[in-house]
Amino acid sequence: MTTTPSRDIAAAAVAEVRRMLDEVPEERYEAFLAEVRAAKTIVLHGVGREGLMMKALAMRLMHLGFHAHVLGDMTAPPVLEGDLLITSAGPGHFGTIQALQDIARAAGARNLLVTANPNGDSAALADVVVALPGPTMSEDLEVPDSALLMGSVFEVVQLFFYDVVVKRLSDTLGQPLEDARLRHTNLE
């Protein structure tokens, strides 16, 4: 059995992620930015590795001074009117995401869904759907040529998208890097 050199796998993965990010229209960034800017409090949730990407975004939003929380943390507040629930459902639907969207809607919060499948069931409950390209774990057998396994490309696309959003927010707010660093933990 021959194996592909690690450098070649990495190069293919970077190229695939770049192709996916090139497909994201500016309007999706703008929609995401508008929702974040308008929210009083932001609560984020995703399952599996998508959840890890949500945690990374919550951390950076907190560094910029937003009231951002990860659902499931003991300090996560309730969502209320004027708040924003950001969820991730790469394949388009998870029962847990739909249940959370229902609760947020009943409380008067807005729902923003990040997904690779904007036609999935969870999209119908979202106020804003941000569709990002990339094969998810539910499609990994259908997209055998993806450079990485089990939806990893979609998750990396998410991370880059979120970091671009954070950079845009930082630029818009005119916040010096020093301000964000002051909000970074000193308990490392």
Predicted local distance difference test score (pLDDT) of residue 187: 77
Q: What confidence tens digit (pLDDT) does each residue in 152-168 have? A: 889 999 999 999 999 99
| 186, part of any domain | no
Show Cβ contacts of residue 77 under 8 Å, excluding neighbours closer than 6 positions.
41, 43, 69
| 182, part of any domain | no
The domain containing residue 151 runs over which residues?
A: 7-173
Checking if the pLDDT of 59 tops 60, the result is yes
User: What is the share, in percent, of the chain residues with pLDDT greater than 70?
Assistant: 95
For residues 118-130, give the mean pLDDT. Answer: 94
Checking if the pLDDT of 122 tops 90, the result is yes
Burial class (CB in 10 A: 0-12, 13-18, 19+), 126: buried
| 184, part of any domain | no
| 185, part of any domain | no
CATH code of 82's domain: 3.40.50.10490
| 154, part of any domain | yes
| 2, part of any domain | no
SS (H, E, C) 159-174: HHHHHHHHHHHHHHHC
As a whole number of angstroms, the distance between CA 120 and CA 97 comes to 12
| 30, part of any domain | yes
Predicted local distance difference test score (pLDDT) of residue 149: 76
Residue pair 84/36 in contact by the 8 Å Cβ criterion: yes
Tokens linked to 113: 């869904």
| 180, part of any domain | no
Tally of structural domains, the chain: 1
For residues 96-108, give the mean pLDDT. Answer: 97
178 versus 13: the higher-pLDDT residue is 13
Tokens linked to 164: 């671009």
pLDDT tier for residue 143 given thresholds of 50, 70 and 90 = low
Tokens linked to 19: 């192709």
As a whole number of angstroms, the distance between CA 16 and CA 14 comes to 5
DSSP classification of residue 122: G
Tokens linked to 132: 């990002």
pTM score: 0.91
